Copies of this chain bind each other. A is one copy, B any other.
Amino acid sequence: MEQDQPKRTEISEYGEFGLIDHLTKDLKIHNSSTIKGVGDDAAVIDNDGFLTVVSTDMMVEGIHFDLMYFPLKHLGYKAIVSNLSDICAMNARPRQVTVSVAISNRFSVEAMDELYAGMKAACDAYQVDLVGGDTTSSNRGLIISVTAIGQGEKDKLVYRNGAKPGDLICITGDLGAAYLGLQLLEREKQLYLQNPDVKPDLEEQKHAVGRFLKPEARMDMIEILDKAQLVPTAMIDISDGLSSDLMHICKQSGVGAIVEETGVPIHSDTKLLALKFNLDPINCALNGGEDYELLFTIDEKDVEKIRLLPDIWIAGEITEKEEGLKLHTSGGKRHDLFAQGWKHF
């Protein structure tokens, strides 16, 4: 008689967001100081009215970065910045980070110095303190885990669940460039592997490559919103792509959304580069991740305030849940938007 095999469900059947929902569905909260647990850009902890915001992320060599074209100093910078971006997305100010690193013996002390130089540069640029961490070894590759800690004010923290029909959808900066920067570096890598004598010329593609290799957290936007006394109704940072991240806001707020293709900010260099790759620029903006711009919604009454602020674009409107997530194309059609999430598995 054959023995019963235990059931095996592949992680790919769940996908990223499904897996997180599944693993965290039974969590109990024991402490009254825990205001917000799993499910936003960051957790929120109350210290007698003084709020601490905490976010954490892990980056794995070969999954999230390729050291063939990602300089270690830039990698250190990006590892910090991508976490600070989560704190900004709560409308909070990042203050501290902890860093855990696992490395194989392939890496030298000098390589670690480069990585840490990048992390320190990010800490200096954002006035954040590296307060702790762990350094350990791995059998293969480099793994970086960063936890960012920020400070928020009770009436100003912004969650993913506050959007309501009629709110305007706003996007900072421009989208799609980081994704195209990655495509470009991947192509140069393939060319180099075929012929190591070919020197890549990335000079003309500074914007896209720079957005991928040295992203910034939009801390400046948090300051600008604060000065304008404008508190968004919902906010998230665009790390997975506009579609995915807007889907998170819609799902948690119980609303729908319509995005105007003409309202999605795309840099002119990004448009040209997309065409070189035979890609539709709007698709790069909707589904390419790692731009670390902010996506937020504001009450209609704040529309005049937003028009005066630099580098913020109105890209659509929150609708009733039943209307779903739609894209209104420049050709006048309405398409469904699909959130892709990561597909590492």
A109 contacts B48, C-beta separation under 8 Å: no
A:176-231 near B, CB below 8 Å: none
A113 contacts B56, C-beta separation under 8 Å: no
Please tell me which stretch of A24-32, A248-256, A269-277, A317-325 contacts chain B, meaning at least 4 of its Cβ atoms lie within 8 angstroms of it. A24-32
Please tell me which stretch of A4-12, A164-172, A291-299, A329-337 contacts chain B, meaning at least 4 of its Cβ atoms lie within 8 angstroms of it. A4-12
In the complex, what residue of chain B is closest to A6 when comparing beta carbons? B110
Q: Which residues of B contact A154 (CB under 8 A)?
A: none
Given A98-B43, A124-B28: A108 in contact with B11 (beta carbons within 8 A):
yes
In the complex, A63→B135 CA distance in Å? Answer: 12
A31 contacts B134, C-beta separation under 8 Å: no
B136 contacts A63, C-beta separation under 8 Å: yes
Q: Which residues of B contact A98 (CB under 8 A)?
A: 43, 54-56, 147
Q: Which residues of B contact A62 (CB under 8 A)?
A: 139
Residue in B14, B60, B345 whose beta carbon sits within 8 Å of that of A105 in the complex? B345
A145 contacts B56, C-beta separation under 8 Å: yes
Q: Which residues of B contact A96 (CB under 8 A)?
A: 31, 33-34, 43, 45, 54
Q: Which residues of B contact A47 (CB under 8 A)?
A: 47-48, 50, 52, 151
In the complex, what residue of chain B is closest to A44 when comparing beta carbons? B131
Q: Which residues of B contact A64 (CB under 8 A)?
A: 136
Please tell me which stretch of A15-23, A259-267, A303-311 contacts chain B, meaning at least 4 of its Cβ atoms lie within 8 angstroms of it. A15-23
Q: Which residues of B contact A342 (CB under 8 A)?
A: 136
Given A45-B96, A105-B11, A123-B30: A135 in contact with B52 (beta carbons within 8 A):
no
A8 contacts B149, C-beta separation under 8 Å: no
B100 contacts A132, C-beta separation under 8 Å: no
A113 contacts B54, C-beta separation under 8 Å: no
Residue in B9, B33, B135 whose beta carbon sits within 8 Å of that of A20 in the complex? B135
A:88-123 near B, CB below 8 Å: 95-96, 98-103, 105, 107-110, 112-113, 116, 120, 123
A137, CB-defined interface residue at 8 Å: yes
Can you list, as one digit per residue, whether each of A49-87 has a CB less than 8 Å from chain B (1) or not (0)?
Answer: 010101111111111100000000000000000000000
A38, CB-defined interface residue at 8 Å: yes
B63 contacts A109, C-beta separation under 8 Å: no
Q: Which residues of B contact A60 (CB under 8 A)?
A: 102, 136-139, 143
A339, CB-defined interface residue at 8 Å: no
B95 contacts A135, C-beta separation under 8 Å: no
Chain A interface (Cβ < 8 Å from any Cβ of B)? 6-14, 16, 19-20, 22-24, 26-31, 33-34, 36-38, 42-43, 45, 47-48, 50, 52, 54-64, 95-96, 98-103, 105, 107-110, 112-113, 116, 120, 123-124, 127-141, 143, 145, 147, 149, 151, 342, 344-345
| Contacts beyond the supplied A9-B110, A11-B103: 14 A-B pairs with Cβ under 8 Å | A19-B112, A23-B113, A24-B116, A27-B130, A37-B130, A38-B131, A43-B132, A45-B149, A47-B52, A54-B131, A60-B102, A60-B137, A63-B139, A140-B140
Chain A to chain B contacts (Cβ below 8 Å), 12 pairs: A16-B136, A19-B109, A20-B135, A23-B135, A29-B129, A30-B129, A31-B96, A45-B52, A54-B147, A63-B136, A134-B145, A139-B141
